Amino acid sequence: MAKIPLERIRNIGISAHIDSGKTTLTERILYYTGRIHAIHEVRGKDGVGAKMDSMDLEREKGITIQSAATYCVWQGSKEQLPEHNINIIDTPGHVDFTIEVERALRVLDGAILVLDSGKGVQSQSITVDRQMKRYRVPRIAYVNKMDNPGANYDRVADMLKEKLAHHPVKLQVPIGAEDKFSGIIDAITGKAYFFDGENGENIRVEPVPADYAEQTKAARAEIIERVADVDEALAEKFLAEEPVSDDELRAAIRRATLALKMTPVMCGSAFRNKGVQLLLDAVCMYLPNPAEVENVAFDQSKNEEKVILESTPNKPFVGLAFKLTQDKFGQLTYVRIYQGKISNGDTLVNTSNQLRKARVPRMFRMHSDEREELTSAEAGDIVAFYGLECSSGETFTDGKMNVTLTSMFVPAAVISLSVTPKDRGSETNFSKALNRFTKEDPTFRVHQDEESGQTIISGMGELHLEIYMERMKREYNCEVVAGKPQVAYRETITQKGEYAYTHKKQTGGSGQFARVCGFLEPLPSDAVEQYEFVNEIVGGSIPREFIPACDKGFQEAIKKGSLIGFPVVGVRCVVNDGQYHDVDSSEQAFKTAAIMGFREGYERAKPVILEPIMKVEVEAPIDFQGSVVGQINQRRGVIQTTSSADGNVIVVAEVPLNTMFGYSTDLRSATQGKGNFTMEFARYGIVPRNEQDDMMKKHKEKLAAEQAARK
């Protein structure tokens, strides 16, 4: 295949709220561009599933879990365009897989924002739009499902303005709506398009139906006026009341779209095979080629000085590894090439990871789970490599530049679970799975809880973690048991507690003797260190050489408090008197005396249990304020502030971590999926007395059970 010039390459993503029809739209694009020869539905009865949903889990659940890359070549519908190469990434719509959208938008030049004609701008549309704005990605809005009940093209365009602060410009006039939707009028050229044939592949172009003539004329005048609001060149013609040709109008739309000053709005029904070819024409006409997007790198040799990358094969190579997957052949690393060119056998330098070198063994252009081998690739291409070991978000160069690209934004995990393999024999596979998933997905985190010994996995939601547990079972033959993770409680004291303990042991020959006296007291709440040892011995009642042994004894004692066996924090241990024996005293004797003395003083110092308190920020439509506040109150939360913005309420509260498990599901249920929250550690707080009593009772029962088991 002859190399297509850079100005005719488009790197685009298809993003939307869940169930808006992204994968169906991608499937139609691949069919009309000849990449596939039969259409399969996302939840099709043929059991094949959509081409871009290559995982069994995706086909079973009818949702996209991983972003999938493909490419196609488009020459225009009836608009004879020159041949364009379009690289496409189909992304998930579910909020739990938001990193897949994030990393796709990080490396793409343009996007299609798919909206449901009946529902308009939904919660995940807002999230996706925020991500597009973060990476300054120009987009076309495609109002899908025009054949569905309640379809309203004009209302959805208005919602783009109200909810997303876009400057929407409707380029088309739908012929009918709902079950009467039959075709589309291009308001710029004044032609009507009808899509015949079993799969809408035969496009019939006709004059505008008489009953739509006035509406089409008004729509073109509105396009000129709205584009003139954001484009100076067109504004001059508009104010001078000069005629505007179709080419001049399209050029102005392109300029304003690339400058992020407007959003072209189009319509159709991907499922009914209407309007997809016109959308492809618009992608070629209005979205940027790689050279029209400014990509910035940071020179590591010059104190992170900014370097503008040029989309040309003649400059040093710079690429970003934005996605990793694993298959039977090994790790497949997806790379967006921003500058330069690369061939098989070249050596790459990982500038994000201590300038580690790697050779390029094999290179592919991806088509979902199929691959086409390449010998070389250059600026503007999205390719995949085998044998390129790295993590997601790392920069590669050819060694001539020491630059890094900004990685993608990684949101904080919101939910955690403890997991253990069901059977001991699968522990090796369990470790392999966790290692692979953490490399592939920056929002999937794993850590070992030092106190409970549990493996804790954290992610973006319960579905996110469920999918990974299911993948462990399918891909690694490792079934896991999930439980609620152990919250990291602490214990502390609330008042001064004195102790005077004598350790005496005689076992024939030299015995053990040590006496320690003093007190424990709480440290100030703002103390940096959580343990302090103070030696107030005068007159040598405890010889100097035994003082460190007392300190060691106290440090040993604070590892496990006597209430529920968690570490003791915020305590000052003071020793001010004692006794020793010339023969029987030793370091061990004083260490033991300090441990027992601590326990004595601890009981008198009114100990309490502390729990981690999280700062939780909830955002939801203002209609759900009562539900949001009610849920926080039920969880022993204390509301700090409540504010509203853009029709949403923002509630900031402090809530005990132990009550937050399952909250993401409850919040979604209470807010029709429109609420989201972030959570971070704020401080430790005292557990209410009734809960403390319950926890202490359970701890005693656990100790008794362990003792009985030992006997």
The pLDDT, as a whole number, for residue 601 is 95
Least confident of 169-173, 313-317, 485-489, 587-591: 485-489
The helix (H) or strand (E) run that includes residue 682 is strand 676-686
Give residue-wise pLDDT tens across range 386-405. 877 777 778 888 888 888 88
Q: Would you place residue 412 in the very low, low, confident or very high pLDDT band (cuts 50, 70, 90)?
A: low
Listing DSSP states for 232-274 in one string gives: HHHHHHHHTT----HHHHHHHHHHHHHTTS-EEEEE-BTTTTB
The pLDDT, as a whole number, for residue 45 is 42
Q: Where are the domains of the chain?
A: 7-292, 295-405, 415-483, 490-605, 610-690
CA nearest 440: which of 502, 381, 371, 389? 389
Q: What is the mean pLDDT of residues 351-366?
A: 80
Helix (H/G/I), strand (E/B), else coil: 556:
helix
The pLDDT, as a whole number, for residue 483 is 81
CA nearest 273: which of 191, 204, 197? 197
Task: Label residue 650 exposed, middle or buried (CB < 10 Å: 0-12, 13-18, 19+).
Answer: middle
CATH level 2 (architecture), domain 295-405: Beta Barrel (2.40)
Measured CA to CA, the distance from residue 48 to residue 41 in angstroms comes to 8
Listing DSSP states for 314-360 in one string gives: TSPPEEEEEEEEEETTEEEEEEEEEESEEETT-EEEETTTTTEEEE-
Q: 159 versus 198: which is more confidently predicted?
A: 159
Q: 353 versus 605: which is more confidently predicted?
A: 605
For residue 711, is pLDDT > 80? no
Pairing of strands 370-374, 445-448: unpaired
Phi, psi (rounded to 5 degrees) for 207 = -65, 160
For residue 214, is pLDDT > 80? yes
Left (φ > 0), alpha (ψ -120 to 50) or beta: where does 129 sit? alpha
Pairing of strands 9-16, 110-116: parallel
For residue 673, is pLDDT > 80? yes
Residues 6+ apart with CB under 8 A from 336: 11, 107, 319, 320, 322, 381, 382
Measured CA to CA, the distance from residue 184 to residue 660 in angstroms comes to 49
- Cα 159 to Cα 115, 120, 399: the distances in Å are 10, 7, 48
The pLDDT, as a whole number, for residue 54 is 45
Q: Would you place residue 102 in the very low, low, confident or very high pLDDT band (cuts 50, 70, 90)?
A: confident
**Quick one: DSSP state of residue 12?**
E
Average pLDDT, the chain: 85
Tokens of 469: 């547990």
The pLDDT, as a whole number, for residue 50 is 46
Per CATH, domain 7-292 is 3.40.50.300: yes
Measured CA to CA, the distance from residue 549 to residue 181 in angstroms comes to 86
Give residue-wise pLDDT tens across range 53-81. 445 555 565 555 556 678 888 887 666 77
The pLDDT, as a whole number, for residue 254 is 95
Strand ranges for 351-496 from DSSP E:
356-359, 362-367, 370-374, 376-378, 382-386, 394-397, 403-405, 415-421, 445-448, 455-459, 480-483, 490-493
For residue 325, is pLDDT > 80? no
In percent, the amount of the chain with pLDDT more than 70 equals 89
**Quick one: DSSP state of residue 288?**
P
CATH level 2 (architecture), domain 490-605: 2-Layer Sandwich (3.30)
Task: Label residue 544 exposed, middle or buried (CB < 10 Å: 0-12, 13-18, 19+).
Answer: exposed
Measured CA to CA, the distance from residue 157 to residue 187 in angstroms comes to 15
Task: Label residue 578 exposed, middle or buried (CB < 10 Å: 0-12, 13-18, 19+).
Answer: buried
Phi, psi (rounded to 5 degrees) for 210 = -55, -40
Listing DSSP states for 564-592 in one string gives: TSPPB-SEEEEEEEEE--TTT--HHHHHH
Phi, psi (rounded to 5 degrees) for 543 = -55, 150
**CATH superfamily of this structure's domain 415-483:** Elongation Factor G (Translational Gtpase), domain 3 (3.30.70.870)
Give residue-wise pLDDT tens across range 246-289. 999 999 999 999 999 999 999 999 888 899 999 999 999 999 99
The pLDDT, as a whole number, for residue 354 is 72
Measured CA to CA, the distance from residue 649 to residue 89 in angstroms comes to 33
Identical fold at 415-483 and 610-690? yes
Helix (H/G/I), strand (E/B), else coil: 495:
coil
The fold of 610-690 is Alpha-Beta Plaits (3.30.70)
In percent, the amount of the chain with pLDDT more than 90 equals 36
Q: What is the pTM of this model?
A: 0.67
